[in-house]
């Protein structure tokens, strides 16, 4: 049987074994893939070894042996640097899947470099966080050629619950930043309304009761309510432990702001949301992004104790 008949017979290089990449690589091992793993951090290497991956000394050594190379790295500069190292060493036609969240412009550059080196490229950023990475239920937003998307389907299905082909190179990243820009804006808008309601004597329970079935209804309220009580599973009930950290929202809004500017879009709310989260990130990078409600209260001179109406 060839690897085309049996996808899990393919060798997968996995570069970047952090909070997300570590559990994603572990799911591939569990599904029967031979995973050649690389990360410069010893603790990440130890975890990958314990999960059953073959840990190698360099990214080049991993990529040279693989049919598929997956990257899950902190930013676009690192993705481009790693590609610069590994592309010449990879076998012709290797499928490169970058799952990192990076600038649309960097994603396009990365894809061009991959194709120029005789390989195949997809951008495939994810949503779902560490929980989704561990459970294998991530949503993948994929950009690239249809044939390459088809070739990646089996491996992405192992790590994801939903895999969407969004369009050509970079369009997966576009879907990711458009969604997160809306999320950042809606969380700020909802939080401003909650603080206004507090000042006007509207309790959180009554706010929720009305708005959750009125035209202001949104995911930020009904799944991720930024004040404790109405949605018991939301991070606000747990002192804003993430969840989705402010540092990550700040990063994604920065990418959205770059894309707004690069493409001449008059996205005033997106740019303002990026500015608001950039400031909040200086004090609260490790808090869940829904803690922005506490910052709006502080900036509004809300009296202590008035936040538990």
Q: Does 248 bind ligand NAD (CB under 6 A)?
A: yes
Q: Does 135 bind ligand NAD (CB under 6 A)?
A: no
Q: Does 17 bind ligand NAD (CB under 6 A)?
A: yes
Structure tokens at 208: 């929720």
Q: Which of 41, 50, 265, 283 binds ligand NAD (CB under 6 A)?
A: 41
Is 176 catalytic? The answer is: yes
Stretch that binds ligand NAD, among 126-134, 161-169, 202-210, 300-308 (CB under 6 A): 126-134
Identify the CA nearest to 29 among candidates 47, 42, 4.
47
User: Least CB distance from residue 248 to ligand NAD, whole Å?
Assistant: 6
Using CB under 6 A as the criterion, what x/- string covers residues 141-180 for binding ligand NAD? ----------------------------------------
**DSSP H or E stretch at residue 248:** helix 246-262
Residues 56-85 that bind ligand NAD (CB under 6 A): 59, 72-74, 78, 82
| Residue 33 burial by Cβ neighbours in a 10 Å radius (0-12, 13-18, 19+) | buried
Residues 204-233 that bind ligand NAD (CB under 6 A): none
Stretch that binds ligand NAD, among 19-27, 108-116, 149-157, 201-209 (CB under 6 A): 19-27
Identify the CA nearest to 10 among candidates 110, 94, 107, 97.
94
Single out the catalytic residue among 108, 109, 176, 287: 176
Identify the CA nearest to 148 among candidates 107, 93, 217.
93
Give CA–CA dist 37/17, Å, rounded.
Answer: 8
User: Least CB distance from residue 244 to ligand NAD, whole Å?
Assistant: 6
Residue located via tokens 């994801």 = 160
For residue 65, what are the CA distances in angstroms to 113, 114, 117, 258? 19, 16, 16, 36
The count of residues interacting with ligand NAD (CB under 6 A) is: 26
User: Least CB distance from residue 176 to ligand NAD, whole Å?
Assistant: 8
User: Least CB distance from residue 67 to ligand NAD, whole Å?
Assistant: 19
Q: Does 100 bind ligand NAD (CB under 6 A)?
A: yes
User: Which residues on neighbouring strands pair with residue 55, listed in sequence order?
Assistant: 37
Stretch that binds ligand NAD, among 2-10, 13-21, 189-197, 282-290 (CB under 6 A): 13-21
User: Least CB distance from residue 66 to ligand NAD, whole Å?
Assistant: 14
User: Which residues on neighbouring strands pair with residue 51, listed in sequence order?
Assistant: none
Nearer to ligand NAD, 8 or 75 (CB): 75
CB distance 138 to 126 below 8 Å: yes
Give CA–CA dist 254/248, Å, rounded.
Answer: 10
* Angle CA 101–254–278, to nearest 5: 125
Nearer to ligand NAD, 16 or 197 (CB): 16
For residue 265, what are the CA distances in angstroms to 58, 181, 182, 198? 41, 13, 15, 34
Residues identified as active-site = 176
Q: Which positions touch ligand NAD (CB under 6 A)?
A: 15-21, 38-41, 44, 59, 72-74, 78, 82, 100-101, 126-127, 129-130, 248, 251
């Amino acid at each position: 049987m060839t690897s085309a008949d049996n996808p899990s017979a393919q060798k997968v290089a996995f570069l970047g074994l952090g909070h997300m990449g570590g559990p994603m690589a572990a799911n591939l091992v569990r599904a029967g893939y031979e995973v050649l793993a690389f990360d410069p951090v010893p603790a990440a290497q130890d975890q990958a070894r314990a999960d059953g991956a073959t840990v190698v000394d360099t990214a080049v050594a991993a990529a040279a042996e693989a049919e598929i190379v997956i990257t899950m790295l902190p930013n676009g500069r690192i993705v481009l640097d790693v590609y610069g190292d590994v592309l010449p060493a990879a076998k012709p036609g290797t499928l490169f899947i970058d799952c990192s969240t990076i600038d649309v412009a960097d994603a396009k550059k990365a894809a061009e470099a991959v194709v120029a080196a005789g390989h195949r490229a997809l951008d495939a950023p994810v949503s779902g966080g560490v929980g989704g990475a561990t459970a294998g239920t991530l949503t993948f937003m994929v950009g690239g050629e249809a044939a390459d998307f088809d070739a990646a389907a089996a491996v992405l299905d192992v790590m994801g619950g939903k895999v969407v082909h969004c369009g050509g190179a970079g369009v997966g990243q576009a879907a990711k930043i458009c969604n997160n820009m809306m999320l950042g804006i809606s969380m700020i808008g909802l939080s401003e309304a909650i603080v206004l309601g507090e000042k006007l004597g509207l309790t959180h329970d009554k706010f929720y009761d009305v708005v959750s079935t009125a035209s202001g209804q949104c995911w930020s309220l009904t799944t991720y309510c930024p004040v404790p009580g109405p949605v018991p599973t939301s991070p606000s009930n747990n002192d804003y432990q993430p969840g989705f950290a402010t540092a990550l929202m700040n990063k994604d809004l920065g990418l959205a702001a770059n894309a707004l500017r690069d493409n001449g879009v008059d996205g005033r709310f997106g740019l303002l949301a990026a500015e608001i989260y950039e400031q909040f990130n200086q004090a609260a990078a490790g808090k869940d992004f829904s803690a922005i409600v506490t910052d709006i209260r502080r900036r509004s001179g809300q009296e202590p104790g008035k936040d538990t109406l």
